[in-house]
Amino acid sequence: MRVLITGGSGFIGSHLVDHLIDTTDADIIVLDDFSTGKRSNIEHIKSDRLTVREGDIRDESTVRDVVEGADAIYHLAAAVGVKKIIDDPLDSLRTNLSGTENVLKAAENDKTPTFIASSSEVYGKTKDVPFDEEEDRVLGPTASLRWSYATAKAADESMAFGYYREYDLPVVVARFFNIVGPRQTGQYGMVIPTFIDQALSGEPLTVYGDGTQTRSFTHVRDAVSIVYELLQTEEAYGDVYNIGTPEPISINELARRVIEITGSDSEITHIPFEQAYKKDFEEPLHREPDVTKLKKTIGRIPETDLNGILTDIIN
Residue 83 falls inside a structural domain: yes
**Residue 256 resides in a domain:** no
Mean pLDDT highest for which of 36-40, 130-134, 272-276?
130-134
> Tell me: the pLDDT tens digits for 146-164?
788 889 999 999 999 999 9
On average, the pLDDT of the chain sits at 93
Note the pLDDT tens digit of each residue in 27-75: 999 999 998 889 999 999 999 999 999 999 999 999 999 999 999 999 9
Question: How many Å apart are CA 163 and CA 166, to the nearest integer?
Answer: 5
Average pLDDT over residues 250-258: 98
Catalytic residue among 123, 149, 164, 277: 149
How many independent structural domains does the chain possess? 1
The domain of 109 spans 2-177+219-244+289-302
**149 among known catalytic residues:** yes
How far is residue 37's CA from residue 263's CA, in Å, rounded to a whole number?
Answer: 31
Between CA 86 and CA 34 the distance in angstroms is: 20
* CATH number for the domain that contains residue 227: 3.40.50.720
Q: What is the DSSP letter of 124?
A: B
What sign results for the dihedral spanned by CA atoms 118, 121, 124, 125?
positive
* Cβ atoms < 10 Å from Cβ of 295: 12
Query: Is residue 186, in this structure, part of any structural domain at all?
Result: no
Q: Is residue 209 part of a domain?
A: no
| Residue 170, C-beta contacts closer than 8 angstroms, at least 6 positions apart | 111, 112, 113, 114, 164, 234, 237, 238
263 contacts: CB under 8 Å, gap ≥ 6:
none
- Tell me, yes or no, whether 204 lies in a domain: no
For the chain, report the end-to-end CA distance as a whole number of angstroms. Answer: 35
- Tell me, yes or no, whether 251 lies in a domain: no
Give CA–CA dist 122/163, Å, rounded: 20
Q: For residue range 8-32, what is the model confidence (pLDDT) as tens digits?
A: 999 999 999 999 999 999 999 999 9
- DSSP 8-state code for residue 216: -
Look at residue 281 and tell me if it is in a domain: no
Residue 275 lies in a domain: no
Residue 192 burial class via C-beta count within 10 angstroms: exposed 0-12, middle 13-18, buried 19 and up: buried
